[in-house]
Chain A
Amino acid sequence: MGIAETIRGRSSGIRSRRGVDARSRLPQADVCLIVEGCYPFVPGGVSAWIDWLFRSEPDATFSVVTLWPKRGPLQPRYQLPANVVGLDLLYLQDFGAAPARHRSAGTQVQRLGDALVDFLEQGSIERFHSVTEQLKAVRSTAPLERLFNSPLAWEVIRHMYERMMPHGSFLHFFWAWRALLGGLFATVEFALPRASLYHTISTGYAGLLAARAGLETGRPVVLTEHGIYTNERRIEILMADWVADTVDKGHNLADARFDIRDMWMRAFEAYARACYGGCARITTLYDDNQRAQRFLGADPARLQVIANGIDVSRFAEVTPAGQGDRPTMALIGRVVPIKDVKTYITTASLLRERVPELRAWVLGPLDEDPGYVGECRALVDELGLAGCVEFAGAVNVVDYLSQIHVVVLSSLSESQPLVVLEAGAAGLPFVATNVGSCREILEGRPDEHPPLGAGGLVTNVVAPAEIADAVAVLLADATMRARFGQSLKARVKRYYTSEQAAAAYGKLYRDLIGNSGRAQSPSAAGGEA
């Protein structure tokens, strides 16, 4: 029986078990993992990491809360391990039920509206706490879901609009309000599963739910950010053509009037600030991410880097290609725009002028963005690179590594790419763009002692000539390749093994949960334990 059937079978008996009373009968997990839009329905990436975490901590029990936009057919892509005792779905955009016939006092509207405006504009765990307290007060009259569609909500929207952007499009404000605060209300209304510790894998709504868990239960909260969620949202919102710019500021940079884009971005920043403020520990994959976390108010004393690790034994048998083999570089990854495969192809074109025998492999799935794959193939034809650039599709990378001289990563954005670690475990030198933690992995952190030396070369993004120069140097110098390969291998073994990552999370959990399992969140501002 597959996972889907298993889950359906399980769900049939428990649909009515909603709310706190029902939850109290369910087993309490050691860790409640809160994730947004991934596990167990989206394969790869963070979901794969979560699956790894469950299997790396077999003695701990987990429950999972998955935040998802709205109802629809969902196909789980992972078998829940035995130590996962529960899985909840929280729908963010399905919020709102038949309106309550609630007519509120003006002061109530003003208090709630002011609390929400203060929170959205400045964001902090204290302001979030104030919002939850105000919501608790209005919830005493009717469920939030019914109030969300009531005249009370309308009055709150009006009040907030007048305070935040009385000059802007009300239509956009209204939908932004519904979307942003519907999600917020949904996280406030959600019946929390019981756990000794709450671990969120991003800020955003998952971070808000975790912050609320900390406030209400006094249990410790941990955040692990792979990429910086707020940055990702900011890019998405800045590039969004569906967000209308409704305030004409002309060329006046000093015009501080709020527009819809500002509202969206500020809201996600506010959510992040609340999450950072509510967390006992904030971990990320590499140092550079901490700058953004500190910028949004994360307490430096709570920051910690826990790098992802890999199983190095898989690559122990790989012998790097020799000088007599056909000169080969490889890009290992999905053929999608963010990997900037076109720059890689242009690099191959430049490099072939110096290395006529060059082979440039692209090892990775071709099915995610067929349009982009078509453009890449057209570029190969246009540059006359047939026979040089080869798209191998999804393959077992280990089978190819011993024929590769240099591995290349031309990505526009990464966090901590596993492909660098895997190439390093195989003793291959690397050329990577300066994104995510590539420089940290290839050149070592400043506090590395003793220094292990460079494991590859770092270039700018969208710089084919620069990448071609770096690869040419490595192809021409077997000694340098060997030295880089060994350095990288040593660094991966020292810092980036699966065992080390698992041990770090195990220690983190033990430190925070302690023996009693009732450790206190440093910023627990109230609520029942």
Chain B
Amino acid sequence: MAGIGFELRKLSGHDSIFQTLASFGHAAVVAAGPWLFTILSLAAITVLTEPIAGLAQLATFRVTVIYAFAVSLVAAAPVTIVATRLAANALWQKRAQDIPTLLIGALVLAALLAGGAALLLALSLQPPIQVAMALVACSVIVALIWVALCFAGTIRDYVGVTMSFILGLLCSVCAAIVAVLYGQQATSMVWGFNLGLAITFFSMAWRVIATFPHAVGSPLAAVGIILAGIRSYWQLAAGALLGTAGVWADKWIFWLSENGETTETGLLHAPLYDSAMFIASLVLIPSLAAFVVRLETDFFDRYQQYYATISSHGTLGQIEAARSRLARFTIENFTFITIAQVGYCAILVLTAPLIVEALNLQFRQTSILRFGGLGAVFHFIFIACSSMVLFFDRRVIYMLLQGLFLLANAGLTLYSLQAGEDYYGVGYFLACVLCGFVAYRAADVTFQRLNFLTFIGNNPSVTEAARRKVRRWPGR
């Protein structure tokens, strides 16, 4: 018979619509967590050891740790975000046995990148060898923590994460204090701090490995898998790199400006700006925590309901209703958390002089603290909306948002530097305002166009379909 050569059956084999369910929107939030942890632990150690260690030693210690965190966060970010995505895919495809291999690959690659970057930094700044060694070690351990943290997030082990951090934090603080008591050197404090970090890492990694007790392939092959993943999800890798660099951009610029100071060991920092901004960032913690809780519970339920409506052959009317519920719920909760964030910010702004006094900061840091707090409101909006964009797998948009944040934070911080001391912190604040609004718009458009994106715009089996090809074979 004259045949339809194409197999009708195959046309029904499309389930790629639901690939985005292998979501990892929490990655955007989780990435912010360690940065806050840095601030918390440094604050604790500073307060507890200042009477014994002295300001100069503390400055060296603090700056070394900040360098390690900055370097490892930026250098390992592409690896962690891609590995998180691959792990989410593996879990969605019910291939739990792949998780340990992905973990090992990501750990090796992240350690190499962070260690390499720290080494380059040490070579260029040429601090004493003890400081350089402590810096490289700290960078490597912190990179390992980022990776383990993202895997723990993938399995929703937030209790484990929290416990590991608290345990590590306590050990860090204790070890640093012991180091101060016996060694009285900044590098000893860093090594003590490293010990606590290592405990955090092993605790989290152990929990992940205990969850997936499967055999691991060769580390080289595992690294190959991660590298292949970076090629596939290059927008994620680039987005994470730009985003983490964006978080540090204003600090780096201040370090390199006339406000920059050099520690005894030759490391640059800008205590005037850094300490105020780090404290301001702390107001992000309650909002991000509330957001994660909402994400993991109510939002995720509605998110799954939306896809379940589609897969259980709902009508377009039912799908639209589910989309509308998801969008409305998200906006409402988001608004609620943002209002709370505004409240924290108001408290910070109003009590800034008191905080400055209580923490022995300089009076001129008050306005930086206030701008930092105001910026944090919009920074929360930016992080939360970036997370929404990731939840719906809009990778290019995510990358562009992070790129915008880097550019805006760097550009506006440079501008505010030129405008004078009264405007320190305004750059970060304006960058957060701009990027917060843009990210909100991106998330809003994503929700409005969710049906189109789910079925066509973001559906891999549609977007990756090859172009129709016509080959012509002329006769003789």
> Would you list which residues of chain A between 55 and 70 have a CB under 8 Å from chain B?
63, 67-70
Q: Is B94 an interface residue (CB 8 A)?
A: no
Contacts A37-B6, A149-B462 given; does A99 touch B457 at CB 8 Å: yes
Contacts A149-B463, A169-B315 given; does A237 touch B471 at CB 8 Å: no
Q: Which residues on B sit within 8 Å (CB–CB) of A22?
A: 472
Closest residue of chain A to B457 (Cβ to Cβ) is A99
Q: Which residues on A sit within 8 Å (CB–CB) of B215?
A: none
Stretch at the interface among B7-15, B229-237, B336-344, B429-437: B7-15
> Would you list which residues of chain A between 189 and 208 have a CB under 8 Å from chain B?
189-191, 201-202, 204-206
Asked if A153 contacts B456 (CB within 8 A), the reply is yes
Q: Which of A98, A169, A229 contacts B4 (CB 8 A)?
A: A229
Q: Mark B300-323, 1 if CB is under 8 A from A, else 0.
A: 000000000011011111010000
CA distance A255 to B462 in the complex (A): 34
CA distance A204 to B472 in the complex (A): 22
Closest residue of chain A to B15 (Cβ to Cβ) is A171
Stretch at the interface among A88-96, A306-314, A362-370, A456-464: A88-96
Could you tell me the distance in whole angstroms from the C-beta of B7 to the nearest C-beta in chain A? 7
Asked if B2 contacts A229 (CB within 8 A), the reply is yes
Q: Which residues on A sit within 8 Å (CB–CB) of B420?
A: none
Q: Is B475 an interface residue (CB 8 A)?
A: yes
Contacts A10-B474, A14-B473, A179-B11 given; does A69 touch B466 at CB 8 Å: no
Asked if A99 contacts B456 (CB within 8 A), the reply is yes
Q: Is A42 an interface residue (CB 8 A)?
A: yes
Asked if B2 contacts A86 (CB within 8 A), the reply is no
Q: Which residues on B sit within 8 Å (CB–CB) of A170?
A: 310, 313-316, 319
Could you tell me the distance in whole angstroms from the C-beta of A479 to the nearest C-beta in chain B? 38
Asked if B470 contacts A90 (CB within 8 A), the reply is yes
Contacts A42-B3, A227-B2 given; does A171 touch B472 at CB 8 Å: no
Closest residue of chain B to A189 (Cβ to Cβ) is B468
Asked if B314 contacts A71 (CB within 8 A), the reply is no
Closest residue of chain B to A167 (Cβ to Cβ) is B315
Tier of interface size on chain A? 35 or more
Tier of interface size on chain B? 35 or more
Asked if A45 contacts B1 (CB within 8 A), the reply is yes
CA distance A201 to B1 in the complex (A): 9
Q: Which residues on A sit within 8 Å (CB–CB) of B11?
A: 93, 175-176, 178-179, 242
Q: Which residues on B sit within 8 Å (CB–CB) of A352?
A: none
> Would you list which residues of chain B between 114 and 173 have a CB under 8 Å from chain A?
none
Q: Is A305 an interface residue (CB 8 A)?
A: no
Q: Which residues on B sit within 8 Å (CB–CB) of A82?
A: 475-476
Could you tell me the distance in whole angstroms from the C-beta of B245 to the nearest C-beta in chain A? 29
Residues of A within 8 A of B (CB): 7, 10-11, 14-15, 17-18, 22, 26-27, 35-38, 41-42, 45-46, 63, 67-71, 80, 82, 84-99, 145, 149-151, 153-154, 157-158, 161-162, 166-172, 174-176, 178-179, 186, 189-191, 201-202, 204-206, 225-227, 229, 232-233, 236-237, 240, 242-244, 246, 264, 415
Q: List 23 A-B contacts (CB under 8 A).
A: A36-B4, A38-B5, A63-B475, A69-B5, A80-B475, A82-B476, A86-B475, A92-B6, A96-B462, A97-B467, A99-B456, A99-B463, A154-B452, A154-B455, A166-B315, A169-B314, A170-B316, A179-B8, A179-B11, A191-B470, A201-B2, A202-B3, A242-B8
Beyond contacts A46-B2, A171-B313, A246-B313: 7 other A-B pairs, Cβ-Cβ < 8 A, are: A35-B2, A68-B6, A85-B475, A89-B470, A145-B468, A154-B451, A226-B2
